[in-house]
Amino acid sequence: MEKYELLPQQLLLEGTCDEANFFEPELPNDKYICAVHDPDYYYNFLNLKLSQKEIRRTGFPLSRALVERERLIAGGTIKASEYALQYGIAFNIAGGTHHAYTNRGEGFCMLNDQAIAAKYLQQQKLAEKILIIDLDVHQGNGTAEIFEDDDSVFTFSMHGEKNYPFKKEKSDLDIGLPDDTKGEEYLKILKETLPQLLKEVKPDFVFYLSGVDVLETDKLGKLSLSIKDCKERDRYVLQTLKDYKLPVECSMGGGYSVEIKHIVEAHANTYRLAQEIFF
């Protein structure tokens, strides 16, 4: 997708990042993927043996390139979560594959990057209690299902109630917003929710899915946030996490505005804010 090339170019050009701020993802060990995904599903995916029905549901044609890309995205989020422990914040410039379930892919998501990294951190004893803040406009249904019976990972999803996925899973906290929700209302709800959540959950690590498909210009989003509102959302989340001294891994998630410049600008704002707040 074009945005994955344009976004780093923009960040380098304007000096928000320099080359040394980037890392190359590595393929993760299969055992970390299988700590989240059913091994039968994962190895069928890896060996290009998913059924036609399973493939149709994902929205992608199954290919070697797709398998490698999804594994690299998961590896990138694992590595970013380790960097977040070191620096306070780190990003996967892709990721946010929150529609991937334990045993199936859906909605252009095959492997759930933040779920895999969350289990990885716990297995390595780098984190105990994890909070996933999913503000992509689509519900994090796969993430909700994966951690349904796991009290050590709290899933929070704020999304468009009438948007895809039409059959929603139960996150630990779901806030479903009506179509056309404006920035003011959106930010009011977020600001009422997040501090309370941090006090109750007491996480030691946070994953943030900062999808920009909440924008009014988005083709799929159905909400009505301006670019400024979306920036204020990210500022509030990142500043609050910084105030609570919580390390955060940020995956990009969706963004389908008609004009690519709106997508890149909104994603770039998340990086600009990270520089401003954390460094």
Determine, following the binding rule CB under 5 A, whether residue 95 of this chain makes contact with Zn ion: no
Q: What is the DSSP letter of 178?
A: P
Select the span of 11-19, 67-75, 134-142, 188-196 touching Zn ion (CB under 5 A): 134-142
Select the span of 63-71, 177-185, 195-203, 206-214 touching Zn ion (CB under 5 A): 206-214
Binding Zn ion by CB under 5 A: which of 254, 263, 268, 270? 254
Determine, following the binding rule CB under 5 A, whether residue 136 of this chain makes contact with Zn ion: yes
Is-catalytic flag, 99? yes
- Minimum Å gap between C-beta 49 and Zn ion is 28
Beta bridge partners of 177: 160
Binding Zn ion by CB under 5 A: which of 70, 213, 229, 265? 213
- Minimum Å gap between C-beta 245 and Zn ion is 29
CA dist., res. 146 & res. 56, Å (int): 21
Q: What is the dihedral of CA 200, 192, 215, 143, to 10 degrees?
A: 20
CA dist., res. 99 & res. 110, Å (int): 8
Q: Is the peptide bond before 165 cis (omega within 30 degrees of 0)?
A: yes
CA dist., res. 245 & res. 227, Å (int): 27
Determine, following the binding rule CB under 5 A, whether residue 138 of this chain makes contact with Zn ion: yes
Determine, following the binding rule CB under 5 A, whether residue 211 of this chain makes contact with Zn ion: yes
**Three-class SS state of 145:** helix
Binding site for Zn ion (CB under 5 A): 136, 138, 211, 213, 254
Catalytic residues: 99
